[in-house]
Structure 1
Amino acid sequence: MSDAGNWCLIESDPGVFTQLIAEMGVSGVQVEEVWDFDNIANLNPVYGLIFLFKYDQNTAADTMELDQSQHSTTTDHVFFAKQVINNACATQAILSILMNRNDIDLGKELVQFREFAQDLPPDMKGLTISNSENIRRVHNSFARSEAFVNEQQPASGQDEDLFHFISYVPIHGALYELDGLNPAPINLGPCTDADWLSKVRPIIEARMATYSSSEIRFNLMAVCKDRTLVLTEQIDAADRKIENAEKKLARAVQTLRSERELLSVFLSDEQEKRERYRSENARRKHNFIPLVNVLLRKLADKDKLAELIDTAGRKANERAARRRELQQQQVQQQGPAR
């Protein structure tokens, strides 16, 4: 691995990584720090994980020797780049996730970069990253005078802790560990988009357990869909549910109103019937025949009798037609409501 050259150290921070990804032209992606695996599902969809840990060359060599059987022999479907320069492991870990996802809008420049480098061997991919003016410019724009991450041996020769970034990402039905210091990707077994987070958890926890109890300097970050987009989509979905519920409620209210109107007609009929009963019962107690005969003769003499008969018949027909109309509306509206 070459010297740091003109690649600076950058801070392990989700805000830095989110802005770095955006300035590389990627849309709809952000980085969130993971404090608790139990709550990581709240960030779904999660595209990949970036793990920062203290780097021990002796431990790393032992781990690489144990993991040789897991190194993928076929990497055509995995975008894997060797890390050929110092200080670039943060950006390389991010690219390891972005380059292996087909559900991320990479932007024009990274799409062209992936198309150019896809078929290159891992070491040439690493050189292509190091020689990318756009990627190096964005990376160096986040330079800090004091950074948490340090992959360089101090010039003084004194011991200093080194830290390193690696990525975990599901690719074509398998969980991969992508570490630019390894010769190839490590296939950690089959997975799906639904269960890969549960499968990577014990792997990361086991890696942390290899350190002494006094070592707590770990950092885990999730590369996930932009939460503003996720929340906006959820709000839109809630609005659609509200609209559908309001439409169903409006239909139900209209049905109930029709039912009420029909019941009101029935009630009016019943009230009229009761009034008629009272009138009829009153007439039963009195002899109105002489009076009726006189009235009918008077109405007939004035040519009013036929008009009154027509009016009474028309009102009776109108009430009957209205009842039929309301009954028909009730049947039609109750059908879709069920």
Structure 2
Amino acid sequence: MSTWTPLESNPEVLSKYIHKLGVSPSWSVTDVIGLEEETLAWIPRPVKAFILLFPISETYEKHRAEEHERVKLADEQHPGDLFYMRQFTHNACGTVALIHSLANNKDVAIESGVLKNFLEKTASLSPEERGQALEQDKDFTADHQALAQEGQTNAADHEHVIHHFISLVNKEGTLYELDGRKSFPIKHGPTSDETFVKDAANVCKEFMARDPSEVRFTVLALTAAQD
């Protein structure tokens, strides 16, 4: 298993990254500075995905294990074109979350380049095969590594990274949590274009409520670029 330099939760750097990958400049990554209704109103619209960064704690791991058993027994069905992939590369969670956010929003234009090539190449593969394909993709590795060096903190200091990125998207009226460390996509109930921001914020609040003494949560959104 290879190890990448971790991405920082810096909207400017992440926006530059998705543009380098071929995403139209009309989309960008922005900070979500609060999860209350009046604060959520400030996020540029439309909002296509939430990206949550949080510490991997004992609470998260316990919940993940319990959730795995529940979802496995439920044998849930998902849309055929839901793009889900596992994460097998250390510190690649930021890239995986961005891929999940972009691949599941068909109206986000992606021009020829590293991301489009990857999505076309892995369209018919399993989540596990997609994760392995990312690990072996030299172009993706190079782009990730280059952008990871542009954060405000020294990436070399992060020998043991305990933070993890996941994506929340609206897929055909269902709010999905897409986490490369989990074996399955996680359904969080119905949503819509009108309610997605509030619904995604509520899922973020659930993560925070499970770790009430933890303050190291960061929320970002994939949105229309601000003028």
Of 1, 8, 12, the residue aligned with 2:5 is: 8
* 1:149 and 1:162 in contact (8 A); partners too: no
Q: CA distance change for structure 1 residues 203 and 67 in 2, over 3 Å: closer, same or farther?
A: farther
Matched, 1:21 2:18: yes
Percent of aligned pairs with the same amino acid: 28
Q: CA deviation at 1:164?
A: 0.5
Q: CA deviation at 1:60?
A: 1.7
Looking at structure 2, the residues matched to 187 and 199 of structure 1 have their Cα atoms a distance apart, in angstroms, of 12
Looking at structure 1, the residues matched to 199 and 59 of structure 2 have their Cα atoms a distance apart, in angstroms, of 26
Q: Deviations over 1:177-235 (max 9, x none)?
A: 0000000100111111111222222221121022143x21110001111112xxxxxxx
Of 135, 142, 145, the residue aligned with 1:137 is: 142
Q: CA deviation at 1:13?
A: 0.7
* Letter matched to residue 49 of structure 1: F
For 1:35, what is the secondary structure of its paired residue? Answer: coil
Looking at structure 1, the residues matched to 59 and 156 of structure 2 have their Cα atoms a distance apart, in angstroms, of 22
Q: Which has the higher contact order (CA 8 A, sep 6+)?
A: 2
For 1:108, what is the secondary structure of its paired residue? Answer: coil
* Letter matched to residue 136 of structure 1: T
Looking at structure 2, the residues matched to 170 and 224 of structure 1 have their Cα atoms a distance apart, in angstroms, of 13
Of 146, 158, 166, the residue aligned with 2:154 is: 146
Looking at structure 1, the residues matched to 62 and 79 of structure 2 have their Cα atoms a distance apart, in angstroms, of 22
Q: Deviations over 1:114-143 (max 9, x none)?
A: 222122100111112222222211111123
Looking at structure 2, the residues matched to 74 and 221 of structure 1 have their Cα atoms a distance apart, in angstroms, of 25
* 2:87 and 2:181 in contact (8 A); partners too: yes
Q: CA deviation at 1:70?
A: 4.5
Matched, 1:47 2:10: no
Of 109, 119, 122, the residue aligned with 1:117 is: 122
Q: 1:62 corresponds to which residue?
A: 63
TM-score w.r.t. the length of structure 2 is: 0.86
C-alpha RMSD of the superposition = 2.2
* Letter matched to residue 11 of structure 2: P
Q: CA distance change for structure 1 residues 93 and 64 in 2, over 3 Å: closer, same or farther?
A: same
For 1:140, what is the secondary structure of its paired residue? Answer: helix
* 2:55 and 2:217 in contact (8 A); partners too: yes
For 2:9, what is the secondary structure of its paired residue? Answer: coil
Q: CA deviation at 1:11?
A: 1.5
* 2:68 and 2:182 in contact (8 A); partners too: no
Note the 1:1-338 alignment, pairs <5 A. 2-4=1-3, 7-27=4-24, 28-37=26-35, 38=37, 39-42=39-42, 43-57=44-58, 59-66=60-67, 68-70=69-71, 72-74=76-78, 76-109=80-113, 110-144=115-149, 146-147=154-155, 150=158, 153=160, 162-213=162-213, 215-228=214-227
Structure (1 or 2) with the greater helix fraction: 1
Looking at structure 1, the residues matched to 224 and 195 of structure 2 have their Cα atoms a distance apart, in angstroms, of 17
Q: CA deviation at 1:12?
A: 1.5
Looking at structure 1, the residues matched to 92 and 135 of structure 2 have their Cα atoms a distance apart, in angstroms, of 8
Q: CA distance change for structure 1 residues 36 and 212 in 2, over 3 Å: closer, same or farther?
A: closer
Query: Unaligned regions of 5+ residues in structure 2, if any?
Result: none
Rg larger for: 1
